[in-house]
Structure 1
Amino acid sequence: MQTQKLDVHEQPSDKALAEAAISRLRQLSMKLAMAEIDIEVFDTMQPLEDEWRALERDNLQSLHQSYDWCTAWVSAFQRPLAILKGTHADQTAFILPVEIVKSRGLAVAKFIAADHSNINTGLFSESFAESGGTIDAGKFASQLQQALKGRADLLLLQNIPLEWRGRQTPLTGLPMVQNQNHAYQLPFFPTFEETLKQLNAKNRRKKFRVQSKRLEAAGGFEYLIPGTSEEQHRLLDIFFCLKSARFANLGLPDVFADRETQAFLHGLLDKLDDSKQYFGLQMHVLRLKDGHEGKIAAISGISRKGDHIICQFGAINEELVPDTSPGEFLYWQTISGLHGKGVALFDFGLGDQTYKRSWAPVETPHYDVVLPVSPFGVIAGAAHRIVTRGKAHIKARPKLYKFAQGIRARIG
């Protein structure tokens, strides 16, 4: 018979045993606490404003679930709301800002403004968010289904990172499918030069010098962030025109064409605080000088919440200085100008584009919560999974993706 001797140094210490016991008790406590969480559904935002704004102060909660962002969307689209509020021990544990989108007899509960959101987290109290994987996912799912019964067929919460800046989402464990789109981020260091070191800094500086010379040869340029509301709104309308022309050239539908979306984005321009740590939308522009009568070569819209910047969109005038890559040049100006202003992360948002990969060393997968509420929702949820996985399969294969884009353009 063989025996093994356990080295005394390999045995857990009393401190380690105590910490493990405390950890198990905390996990058990959290699971038991789930039974005590009360979920209410609200069909208006106003009664929740104070609690909502208190939760969104957490730097890790997405801009897209902020009260002002959601207010701008609700004002423009006027869809029915089913905002989910969870309460535990007389404290607000979470708010999931949800609206009901109806199509072909199906009622889907989605994040407010989901169609124009680059990252969604929901709103969670810090203690609830830090609980992470200790939540009883089965009980949580059942409570969400019960809360939405009679209001929706399917709960579809899209574009959620399982982990965001070191914190695991409390939604982990709910039925999910990986979204076909990933997001791309550029972490900031104290100086622009340090930030560039994450990239191919030498080639990027060389490209910038070439672009600068070409722009100067064309008469010069101005990089502007207009300070007046009137000018900001004017630039947004110019963006709509440039983007419409771009979509038409590609044979693609214009996702900014409807009046509700345009009203929503115009509404975001006036959502800002005095500290400049939050603004719903801010227009940045690269404008040409002599010989071009102040025409705009490139334009973009960014948002900010805390230390997180999100690039919402961009467009170029394809008839002006195309050999300078004005969109890329505008990103250089914007990113370099944000250094020293408390920014930690520049987010290029969803969608795999060459320029994003050239700027962003961090790629973040996103997931969709797909939780059926009714029998009809079971079918719709299964369809969403199939379509999403199909799109992911195509996008992972460049040749197949290019072929699919060509078909889409021909169909229009």
Structure 2
Amino acid sequence: MTRAASDIELAIFTRLSEADADWQQLKDAGLGNPYQSLDWLRAWTETLGRQLKVEPILVAGRRQDQTQLILPLGLEHTAGIKTLTFLGHQHGNQNTGIWDRAFYDSVDASGMHSLLRKVCAKVGADLLKLENVPMTWHGRTHPLVFDGAAPSPSPIFTRRLGDDFDALFRDTHSKSSRKNLLRKERHLQAAGDFRIEKAAERQEIERCLAIFLEQRELRARESGVPNAFATPAARSFLARQLGLDDAMPASLDLWYLETGGAIRATYLCAEQDDTIYAYSNSIAHDDMLPNSPGLVLIKEIIARACADDQLQVLDLGLGEERYKTSWAEPVPLADSLLAVTAKGALKQKIVATALKAKTMIRNSDILWPAVKRLRKWKAGFSKTDDQKSN
């Protein structure tokens, strides 16, 4: 174990409240992301985590009573095998942990490998699975990317913003692309009562959230893409993240584009430190769809971020979409596996094979379009079948 990790004392908690003091130490001066903040994970644990029966395992690493890192993990039970993974990974875009800056700069992967092996032994985990960790983060290779780590199926997309949106727009889009998008924006404006806003009042947030969920559900039915927010637990999770639970502060903002008397696109975003994180969006499949309201919305969100002195970085999140590749650069993610028991070694082989196949499909110019066509065909078939039964 490296010197940076050799004198770290581990504290392991099973309730988020028990790790609150450690979280507070790193809240302002540490490195992290909104998907692993205390409020985000409290909302997830009390809704989706409860539904999925995930047991929280909060790991705090301390040196001389000073918190050096927090790893919010969860123990998942499947077929008698216990897998330790990031808490809430199913509904986040990336996993980094929360770090003291100096400790992050000094610790290496071998040191973290040794620490996490100890954690697995203490909690009885068979397998450690660390998914969607940025290969490079804050200027160095992330110490949770172990030797032998495999590329994640999809990258995230990020970019430095600067304060000149027009220059950014020119740098990222061709003249014809800019002209086309601005033409579509004018068409949306011509429908009347055009506006792009961040929902602020409770009634406005509730209305926009209902439309977001409705649009996501329609997209799932039309395209066959699974809807991550289909369950009551998921809807409750989003309501809490938007501050609709008075006991919790909001972790997300809900942006929307409205024109012609209807909301045509929404985008859930978070802001932390100097970064704006685009989390999840929705688009109305109606007569305004040819005018790309989603693209016009994200353009305006980016423009306002450029005008905000506090925001310097854009993070468009996980998944390769055309609009993301036009605005930002890919940051590869990695998946690390560590088997601790014989059962864990068996599952490691299965998981590694599945991740490799998923990555191959997602990065294939032939297989991934075929998967999307199959999803759409199945969605259309199910829709036709439902119509016949009615």
TM-score, normalised to structure 2, is: 0.88
Which residue is 1:352 aligned to? 320
Which residue is 1:366 aligned to? 333
For the pair 1:86 / 2:45, whether they are aligned, the reply is no
Q: Secondary structure at the match of 1:356?
A: helix
Structure 1 residue 302: Cα displacement: 0.6
Q: Secondary structure at the match of 2:31?
A: coil
Change (3 A) 1:95 1:216: closer
Is residue 129–residue 168 contact of structure 1 (8 Å, CA) maintained in 2? Answer: no
Distance (Å, rounded) in 1 between the aligned partners of 2:251 and 2:174: 31
Which residue is 2:151 aligned to? 178
Which residue is 1:190 aligned to? 163
Which residue is 1:160 aligned to? 133
Distance (Å, rounded) in 2 between the aligned partners of 1:173 and 1:91: 25
| Bigger Cα Rg | 1
Instruction: List structure 1 segments (4+ residues) > 6 angstroms apart after TM superposition.
Output: none
Which residue is 1:9 aligned to? none
- Identify the match of residue 253 of structure 1 among 226, 235, 256: 226
For the pair 1:49 / 2:20, whether they are aligned, the reply is yes
Which residue is 1:99 aligned to? 74
For the pair 1:39 / 2:3, whether they are aligned, the reply is no
Which residue is 1:323 aligned to? 290
Q: Secondary structure at the match of 1:49?
A: helix
- Deviations 1:304-328, CA, capped at 9 Å, x for gaps: 1111111111111111312211110
Distance (Å, rounded) in 1 between the aligned partners of 2:171 and 2:342: 49
> Number of paired residues?
371
Distance (Å, rounded) in 1 between the aligned partners of 2:131 and 2:113: 19
Q: Give the aligned residue type for 2:21.
A: D
- Deviations 1:321-354, CA, capped at 9 Å, x for gaps: 1221111011111111222211111111111111
**1:274-285 → structure 2 map (5 Å cutoff):** 280-285=251-256
Ranges in structure 1 where 5+ consecutive residues have no aligned partner: 1-29, 273-277
Q: Give the aligned residue type for 1:38.
A: E
Structure 1 residue 175: Cα displacement: 5.3
Distance (Å, rounded) in 2 between the aligned partners of 1:132 and 1:32: 8
Distance (Å, rounded) in 2 between the aligned partners of 1:96 and 1:174: 19
Percent sequence identity over matched residues?
A: 26
Which residue is 1:25 aligned to? none
Which residue is 2:388 aligned to? none
Range 229-238 or range 300-309, more displaced: 229-238
Structure 1 residue 146: Cα displacement: 2.2
Change (3 A) 1:409 1:374: farther
For the pair 1:402 / 2:364, whether they are aligned, the reply is no
TM-score, normalised to structure 1, is: 0.84
Is residue 39–residue 147 contact of structure 1 (8 Å, CA) maintained in 2? Answer: no
Structure 1 residue 358: Cα displacement: 1.6
Structure 1 residue 357: Cα displacement: 0.9
Change (3 A) 1:216 1:42: closer
Ranges in structure 2 where 5+ consecutive residues have no aligned partner: 380-390
Which residue is 2:96 aligned to? 121
Q: Give the aligned residue type for 2:324.
A: K
Which residue is 2:121 aligned to? 146
